[in-house]
């Protein structure tokens, strides 16, 4: 069943899907870390182990997956940093292609979120991203 869900995810325009068993809890077509941040802000994020399908699993996404209580993650692209984080936290991972790190959109150097996540714990990264999002939207 999980393979079918993963294939359906890859064929979709969704960038993130979160499941508990075969029940879809959350999906989004937004870019970067916004979908994971939105999922974490929802009440359902506190309800136990989930399976996460994410189009790109960088270290920041891996840390947020830990906070989301993921027991397993699937992604067509992941970084070595993300793989280490997932292993450290005992999360099974299925990454189709593993790269040393996630690149910036322009392909020149490390993605800023990958850089930001280095050396951080899940809660620490989540709080920092939440603060950044609040300041971008003009909230306090």
The overall average pLDDT reported for the chain is 92
Encode 8-31: b = buried (16+ Cβ within 10 Å), e = exposed: ebeeeebbbbbbbeeeebbbbeee
Domains along the chain?
A: 2-130 (3.40.140.30)
111-129 residue pLDDT tens: 999 999 999 999 999 999 9
Count of C-beta atoms within a 10 Å radius of residue 137 = 7
- pTM for the full model? 0.92
On the question of pLDDT at 76 being above 80, the answer is yes
User: Checking DSSP bridges between strand 92-99 and strand 23-28, what pairing results, if any?
Assistant: unpaired
Binned at pLDDT 50, 70 and 90, residue 42 comes out as confident
Q: Angle 34-41/122-136 helices, nearest 10 degrees? A: 100
User: What was the pLDDT predicted at 48?
Assistant: 77
Binned at pLDDT 50, 70 and 90, residue 140 comes out as very low
DSSP 84-115: HHHHHTT-EEEEEEEESSPBPTTSSSB-HHHH
């Amino acid at each position: 069943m999980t393979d079918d869900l993963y294939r359906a995810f890859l064929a979709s325009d969704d960038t993130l899907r979160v499941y508990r068993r075969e029940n879809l809890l959350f999906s989004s077509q937004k870019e970067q870390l916004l979908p994971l941040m939105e999922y974490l802000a929802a009440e359902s994020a506190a309800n136990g182990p989930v399976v996460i399908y994410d189009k790109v699993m960088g270290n920041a996404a891996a840390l947020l997956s830990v906070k989301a209580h993921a027991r397993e993650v699937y992604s067509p692209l992941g970084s070595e940093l993300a793989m280490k984080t997932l292993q450290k936290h005992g999360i099974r991972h299925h990454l189709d292609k593993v790269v040393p790190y996630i690149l910036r959109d322009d392909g020149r150097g490390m993605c800023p979120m990958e850089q930001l996540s280095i050396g951080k714990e899940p809660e620490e990264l989540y709080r920092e991203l939440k603060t950044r999002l609040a300041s971008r939207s003009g909230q306090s």
